[in-house]
């Protein structure tokens, strides 16, 4: 006899076996997953503006693949969750509004991810008359670039032609304005940017950021022969009561620097402080202090200068003096000539390729909300009209009882 095969247990009625693709779709389109992803994204965003801030938050969270992967997964999960629940419903204005709103939400997340990967944000610092290549990272003070941003996107050069104080447009004071030239060769674009006007060139925006003073210093030997000349940009350090100290150093305080700067061999250490003339632009007095190069021995940093906020000065300068702009300062067997004062500016350079999609999605989302609201009002109005028509449903005809 042929043995009977073991009976197979049938699938429960009403349920069919699901393959791996259907199970995956079921998980991704789950509202619980969408909510969990939304909570995770919000938690990371809060950490990015509280625990990690500025450039650190950009590096640790917002520019990483895992965070942007969360955004993509959130867009996919929320989109599928909504699609599953509205598919097959009657076409109404409210339904169209909800679809537009959710599609705009997907576009918003997509724009954020795209912008995060390919955006560029930096500060280009230039002294009047100076030209720097746009595609060289060394041209920028600070840089925040997306993971896939290519510096070849920044073509040509930028020149600061002049910085204008108290710039007026149609009688309105725009404070500081930067006259800049951007581009390559004869195709350069010359424009004046100020607080309410920026330059948009091939998707790259140039905006005003900050400004300060640069002092021209010429180093000569005892016979007057020129050895080196440079424009020295100064920091603008707050002194209290709204006053600023214009001096060489860093944001942490005044300090000296090797002059000439590297890679040229240093001849001395120099600190420069500028006191502007309140009645005449680009005029005033310049305080100079020098140290021998040997003061750097045993220390990788420049000599810390006297700090009005309590910093120590060690060792004391070898030579100090104050001269007017255009004057000459004697420092032993060297002469330092203060040739002129110019302005330096920090130009904010921005490239946000996802900005158009983000703004379009926001407007589309508002339109979708308005359509949904109007559709709800229309539906409620129609129900109210049907309920207040005064017509009662027809009663059944009486039947004779036999």
The span from the CA of 125 to the CA of 138, in Å, is 11
Q: Does 8 score more than 70 pLDDT?
A: no
The pLDDT mean for the chain works out to 82
Cis amide linkage into residue 290, ω under 30° from 0: no
Percent of residues, the chain, with pLDDT higher than 90: 34
The span from the CA of 189 to the CA of 128, in Å, is 17
Q: Does 156 score more than 80 pLDDT?
A: yes
Q: What is the 3-state secondary structure (H, E, C) of 193-208?
A: EECCECEEECCEEEEE
In this prediction, residues 316-334 reach a mean pLDDT of 92
List the single range of 16-20, 79-83, 305-309 with lowest mean pLDDT: 305-309
Cβ contacts of residue 73 below 8 Å, gap of 6+? 37
This prediction has a pTM of: 0.71
Place of tokens 């500016």: 345
Is residue 320 within 8 A of residue 360, CB to CB? The reply is no
Could you read off the pLDDT of 254-299 as tens digits, one per residue? Answer: 989 999 988 888 899 999 999 999 889 899 999 999 999 876 654 4
The span from the CA of 344 to the CA of 212, in Å, is 5
Q: Does 375 score more than 60 pLDDT?
A: yes
DSSP class of 52: S
Is residue 284 within 8 A of residue 276, CB to CB? The reply is yes
Q: Does 77 score more than 90 pLDDT?
A: no
List the single range of 6-10, 147-151, 324-328 with lowest mean pLDDT: 6-10
Query: Sorting pLDDT into bands at 50, 70 and 90, what band is 14?
Result: very low
Could you read off the pLDDT of 196-230 as tens digits, one per residue? Answer: 999 998 889 999 988 899 999 999 998 989 999 99
With both helix axes pointing from N to C terminus, report the angle between 65-86 and 93-118 in degrees, rounded to the nearest 10.
170
What tokens were used for 306?
């006297």
Percent of residues, the chain, with pLDDT higher than 70: 85
Q: How far is CA 324 from CA 257, 259, 334, in A?
A: 21, 20, 18
């Amino acid at each position: 006899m042929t043995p009977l095969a073991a009976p197979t247990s049938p699938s429960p009625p009403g349920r069919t076996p699901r393959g791996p693709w259907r199970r995956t779709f079921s998980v991704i389109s789950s509202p619980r997953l969408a909510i969990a992803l939304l909570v995770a994204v919000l938690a990371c965003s809060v950490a990015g503006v509280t625990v990690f801030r500025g450039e650190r938050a950009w590096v640790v969270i917002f520019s990483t693949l895992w965070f942007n992967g969360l955004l993509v997964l959130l867009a996919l999960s929320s989109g599928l969750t909504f699609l599953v629940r509205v598919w097959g419903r009657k076409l109404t204005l409210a339904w169209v509004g909800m679809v537009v709103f959710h599609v705009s939400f997907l576009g918003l997340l997509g724009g954020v991810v795209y912008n995060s990967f390919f955006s560029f944000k930096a500060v280009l610092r230039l002294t009047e008359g100076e030209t720097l290549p746009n595609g060289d990272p060394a041209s920028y003070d600070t840089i925040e670039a997306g993971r896939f941003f290519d510096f070849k996107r920044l073509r040509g050069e930028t020149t600061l032609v002049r910085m204008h104080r108290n710039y007026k447009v149609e009688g309105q004071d725009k404070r500081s304005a930067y006259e800049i030239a951007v581009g390559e060769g004869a195709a350069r674009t010359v424009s004046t940017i100020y607080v309410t006007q920026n330059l948009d060139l091939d998707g790259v925006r140039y905006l005003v950021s900050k400004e300060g003073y640069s002092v021209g210093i010429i180093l000569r030997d005892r016979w007057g022969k020129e050895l080196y000349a440079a424009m020295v940009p100064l920091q603008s350090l707050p002194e209290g009561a709204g006053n600023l100290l214009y001096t060489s150093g860093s944001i942490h305080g005044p300090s000296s620097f090797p002059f000439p700067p590297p890679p040229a061999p240093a001849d001395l250490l120099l600190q420069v402080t500028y006191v502007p003339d309140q009645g005449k632009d680009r005029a005033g007095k310049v305080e100079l202090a020098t140290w021998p190069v040997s003061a750097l021995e045993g220390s990788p940093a420049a000599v810390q200068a006297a700090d009005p906020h309590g910093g120590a000065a060690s060792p004391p300068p070898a030579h100090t003096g104050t001269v007017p702009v255009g004057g000459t300062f004697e420092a032993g067997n060297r002469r330092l000539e203060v040739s002129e004062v110019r302005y330096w500016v920090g130009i904010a350079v921005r490239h946000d390729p996802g900005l158009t999609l983000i703004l379009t999605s926001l407007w589309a989302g508002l339109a979708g909300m308005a359509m949904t609201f109007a559709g709800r009002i229309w539906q409620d109005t129609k129900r109210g009209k049907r309920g207040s028509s005064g017509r009662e449903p027809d009663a059944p005809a009486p039947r004779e009882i036999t």
